[in-house]
Amino acid sequence: MGRSILPTLRTGLVIAAGYADKVRRVLFAQLRDAIKTGELSNKDVAMAAGNLNRVLFELLVNKLKADKLDVVRIQIDYEVRDSQIQFDFSTLRVELWRRVPEEEIAPVVEDFARAAPRLLEEEIRFTVEKVGETDVGDVVYRIMYRGSDVGALIVTPLNGEALVRGAVVEPTPLLLKRTRVQVEADRIDDFVSENVSRLFSEAQNVEKREAVRVVNEILSLVKAGEEGFEEALEEEVEG
């Protein structure tokens, strides 16, 4: 009985026209050691990749009607046993993002382009929702944009004033560094609600990962244990 391994082949994001080459490259890379030891030959791996690609062609082209410029992500488990590569098709997962034809996009972009300069002049309007207080009396708020949670703000009350800091991840990542404001303790909720948009109009543009880090740091300070934000993973789409 030969040595068995149970890896997963993952293509990552790739245009549909290039999935076959990506499957072949990934399989050869994952089985490099098995080829070196003689457990598998280059021919074995090439044949397995070819068989899998034949099946995927039937699925992507004939069943899902994928266009060559659509984007796909494929994964499947397989096993190497007795010098054979066996795919477990019960684990096959395919994600497909369809390309929108240019003739559908162009009119929308053209109309939007006329409104874009005006949008840049408008203040981004945020709203807030109080989450709770920390052990030391700081007040934490969730920040929302058009009904979606996009950030967090923390306020430290002082004598007749407060320190405010926070971050948002959308519609563009912004970091509000610690800012001193004049406000009485009993008016903090009203002040934040009325001024959050103005405060962030002077915030610093940052990378999304930094904004996510600050938001999660602030939310983690609340006893209730607010759910944090997941950082979007940027993946390169290969051709």
Per-residue pLDDT, 233: 39
Task: Looking at the structure, tell me whether residues 76 and 152 fall in a common domain.
Answer: no
> Based on the structure, what is the number of domains in the chain?
2
Domain span at residue 201 reads: 127-219
Mean of pLDDT over the chain:
89
Q: Say if residue 182 is in the same domain as residue 139.
A: yes
Q: How confident is the model at residue 237 (pLDDT cuts 50, 70, 90)?
A: low
* Sign (positive or negative) of CA dihedral 159, 161, 163, 166: positive
Residues 215 and 131 grouped into a single domain: yes
Contact 169, 215 (CB under 8 A): yes
Q: Distance between CA atoms of 26 and 10, rounded to whole angstroms?
A: 7
Judge if 152 and 85 occupy the same domain.
no
The answer as to whether 156 is a domain residue is: yes
Same domain? 80 vs 33? yes
| Tens of pLDDT, residues 38-65 | 999 999 999 999 999 999 999 999 999 9
- Rounded CA-CA distance 205/185 in Å is 29
Has residue 232 got a pLDDT over 70?
Answer: no
Q: How far apart are CA 89 and CA 87, in angstroms?
A: 6
Residue 166 within any structural domain of the chain = yes
State the average pLDDT over residues 130-155. 94
Grade residue 2 by pLDDT with cuts at 50, 70 and 90: very low
Once rounded to an integer, what is the mean pLDDT over residues 120-129? 89
Tell me 99's DSSP state: P
- Indicate the pTM of the whole model: 0.65
CA distance 58 to 67: 13
Distance CA 25, CA 37 (A): 19
